[in-house]
Amino acid sequence: MPHRSVNLAFLGCGAITRTHSRTLRRLGAGVQCFYASRQPAKAVATARQLEGAGVFDSYAAALVDNRIDTVLVATPPDTHLELTVAALEQGKNVIVEKPAFLRAADFIPVRGAAARSGRLVLVAENYCYKPLARVLRRIIASGVLGAARIDERRVDEDAPAGGAHRLPYRCLNDGLRFSTKARMPSFWSSSANVAWNSRRSNSRPSASELS
């Protein structure tokens, strides 16, 4: 028996929404895409460009529409928690763009709302599923590196060699490139002089571009 198509509403019409939409269309995934924005004209233009199934002139309108099965929260990060909980309360499955929430504690109300609604929440983070991430999880869990912690520091390419803010190149994994004064999240072991830098920082779009 063929599966019915999924009706997915994008909350926010920025660059990542266009990227996901084109991927879904290329894969022929059987997903009908709807677009919601605080700027109705932007939702209309995005839907026209990406051959969307419909538009909403607010996020709230998308959340209460019975046609929508799933929402993808692609708004500025400081709005993710409120929108995710609201979507779950309306019986929607939720995909949250990274970074998911501002604080680790924000996952607690999300988990509660998901349990009450019986719906799913997925963070759109590809690295969670890559072989490298799985290997790292196994190594960390084994305890061979000792206690692990997350360390975030700034890299200043203009700092003098050996300066406090300049990380030795040997700590960077192949192909990683950092812009001047980029913020760099890293994995460090407390018992070994190793570091694994998860990603390079990119310039971030403004809130208006994401809405």
pLDDT tens for the chain, residues 1 to 211: 456 789 999 999 999 999 999 999 888 878 999 999 999 999 999 999 999 999 999 999 999 999 999 999 999 999 999 999 999 999 999 999 999 999 999 999 999 999 999 999 999 987 777 888 889 889 888 988 887 776 655 555 554 444 444 444 333 333 333 333 344 444 443 333 334 343 433 444 444 444 4
The number of folded domains in the chain is: 2
Considering the domain boundaries, does residue 171 fall inside one?
Answer: yes
96's CB contacts (< 8 A; 6+ apart) are 72, 73, 80, 84, 121, 122, 123, 124
Q: Domain end: 124, 140, 165, which one? A: 124
- Cα separation, 165 vs 106, in Å, equals 31
Decide: 64 and 90 in contact? Cβ < 8 Å: yes
**Beta bridge partners of residue 153, listed in sequence order:** 184
Which of these, 41, 26, 31, lies nearest to 10 by C-alpha position? 31
103 with 116, same domain: the answer is: yes
- Cα separation, 177 vs 155, in Å, equals 11
Considering the domain boundaries, does residue 204 fall inside one?
Answer: no
27 with 107, same domain: the answer is: yes
Which of these, 107, 105, 103, 100, lies nearest to 77 by C-alpha position? 100
- Cα separation, 93 vs 155, in Å, equals 38
Q: Domain end: 124, 147, 175, which one? A: 124
Considering the domain boundaries, does residue 209 fall inside one?
Answer: no
Q: Is the pTM of this model over 0.85?
A: no
116, amino acid identity = R
64 with 102, same domain: the answer is: yes
- Cα separation, 112 vs 91, in Å, equals 13
Positive/negative CA dihedral, 171, 177, 180, 185:
negative
Structural domain including 177 reads: 128-197
Considering the domain boundaries, does residue 211 fall inside one?
Answer: no
Here the CATH number for the domain that contains residue 25 is: 3.40.50.720
14 with 114, same domain: the answer is: yes
Q: Domain end: 124, 151, 184, which one? A: 124
63 with 120, same domain: the answer is: yes
93 with 165, same domain: the answer is: no
